[in-house]
Structure 1
C-alpha cells in the first residue's frame, strides 16, 4: 500500500533581520531537480546584488533527491540547517532559497545556523503544506431505495463525494482513502444487499487544501 506524505502545495516568502543582515526566504513546490535549479537561478537573478543565495531542495515521496548549498557561507551553517527545518516538518517536493544581504556584522556559526533556520520557518508561515494521500475513486450505481444508506455510511466514515447524478438510478463517485476502500465497499454491499454496482479505479493521490479536495497526477 502506498503511504501518505506532505508536500509544499503553495509557495511563499518570508524575511528576518539579524544584526542588520537581511535573510529573505523564498519557497516553491518542485517535482524535479530541473525545476528546483530553475527556481534557484530565478532567485539569483531577482536578488542579483546579494552576497549569498543558499538553497535546499527535497524531492520525492521518500526524499529520493536531496541537495543543499551554503553558497559561500561557512560549511554547515546554511544549507544543512535549512534542510533540517524541512526534514523536521517532513515536507517533500519543495525548494527553498534564502538570500542574504550582509549587514556588516559577523554572526558566527551559531548565529548563521539560527538565522537561516528561522528564515525558512518564516517563509513556511506564508506557504501551504498539504498531505498527499493515496486513495481510490469509487463509482457507485444504485437504486433510489439505497441512496440514504449509502450517504449515511459515507458520512460516518468521513468519505467525500466528488460528484453525483440522478436519472432513473442514482450514481455517486467517492474519493476513498486507500486504507478504507475495502471496508467501505463491504459496508455498501451489505447495506444495499448487493444491489449497488461498485467500480474502483486505480490508486490516485489527493489532498485537502484549505478545505477543498484536490487531485494529483501522482
Structure 2
C-alpha cells in the first residue's frame, strides 16, 4: 500500500476561463469512492443542464486502480481522456473533475479541444493548489511525570507534533509518526527513557502537508 499520495488542496474547487468564446468551467472535488464521484457528476450535470458538454473524469484507489472518463458528446478522445491523462501525469488521486463547456460559436478542432480541456484542467489544479497525504501511525507514549518535559523537548527537536496529552497517574502522549520513521522513533524513545516508556500503536491516519510543484498539461493524445 502506498503511504503517500497527492490530491487537491481544497475539498472542492471551481475554476473557469474563456477560450475562443467558449466558456470552460472546471469543478473538482475530493472523493473516496465511485458513488461519491458519480453523485458529484450528476449534480453538476443537473446544475449545468443547458451546457453543451459536461465532460468528466476521476481517479480513485490506493494504486489509482479505478479510472473513468467521458467525453460527453465531444469527439472521441478529445476531452475526457486528456483530462484523465492530466490527473495521472500529475499523480493526483481520489479526485473527480467535471469540465463544463458552453460553446461560443467557434470550432476548436480536435487538437484545439485536447489543448483546451487539458490546459484548463492543469490551470485549475495550479490555481487550487495541492496537498500531499502521508500515512502516519499514532504512537501512544506513557511515561512518569519527571520524564514529561524531557520527552516533550525531544519531540519538538525532531519535529514531531503532539496530538494529545492526558495527565492521570501517568502522562499519556499521542504522537503521529510517518511509517518509515516509526521504528527509529520508538527505538530512540526507549533509549531516552532507559526502557521506562510504554509504547503502543493506535490508529493509522492520513496527514496533509502543502505540496508545491509545476503542473503538467501535456497529454499523449494527438490529432
Same-fold call, TM cutoff 0.5: yes
Q: Is the 8 A contact 1:13 1:122 kept in 2?
A: no
In the other structure, the counterpart of 1:192 is 193
CA distance in 2, matches of 1:92, 1:59: 6
CA distance in 1, matches of 2:161, 2:90: 27
RMSD between aligned residues: 1.9
In the other structure, the counterpart of 2:60 is 59
CA distance in 1, matches of 2:50, 2:76: 22
Of 28-37 and 162-171, the range deviating more from structure 2: 162-171
Superposition deviation, residue 12 in structure 1: 0.3
For the residue of structure 2 that corresponds to 1:28, the secondary structure is: strand
- Higher strand share goes to which structure? 1
Q: Is the 8 A contact 2:82 2:114 kept in 1?
A: yes
In the TM superposition, 1:78-89 aligns within 5 A as 78-89=79-90
Of 105-114 and 200-209, the range deviating more from structure 2: 200-209
Superposition deviation, residue 126 in structure 1: 4.9
CA distance in 2, matches of 1:191, 1:42: 55
Superposition deviation, residue 14 in structure 1: 0.4
Q: Structure 1 residues 44 and 22 mapped into 2: Cα distance closer, same or farther (>3 Å)?
A: same
Q: Is the 8 A contact 1:14 1:125 kept in 2?
A: no
Q: Is the 8 A contact 1:161 1:172 kept in 2?
A: yes
CA distance in 2, matches of 1:176, 1:205: 11
Structure 1: gaps (5+ residues): 211-218
In the other structure, the counterpart of 2:5 is 5
Q: Is the 8 A contact 1:25 1:122 kept in 2?
A: no
In the TM superposition, 1:97-176 aligns within 5 A as 97-127=98-128, 129-176=130-177
- Provide the TM-score with structure 1 as the length reference: 0.88
Superposition deviation, residue 167 in structure 1: 4.0
Superposition deviation, residue 209 in structure 1: 6.7
In the other structure, the counterpart of 1:47 is 48
CA distance in 1, matches of 2:163, 2:19: 48
Superposition deviation, residue 85 in structure 1: 1.5
How many residue pairs align between the two structures? 210
Structure 2: gaps (5+ residues): 212-223
CA distance in 2, matches of 1:128, 1:18: 22
CA distance in 2, matches of 1:36, 1:156: 42
Q: Structure 1 residues 2 and 99 mapped into 2: Cα distance closer, same or farther (>3 Å)?
A: closer
Superposition deviation, residue 11 in structure 1: 1.4
In the other structure, the counterpart of 1:183 is 184
Superposition deviation, residue 170 in structure 1: 2.3
Structure 1 runs of 4+ off > 6 angstroms? none
Of 30-39 and 162-171, the range deviating more from structure 2: 162-171
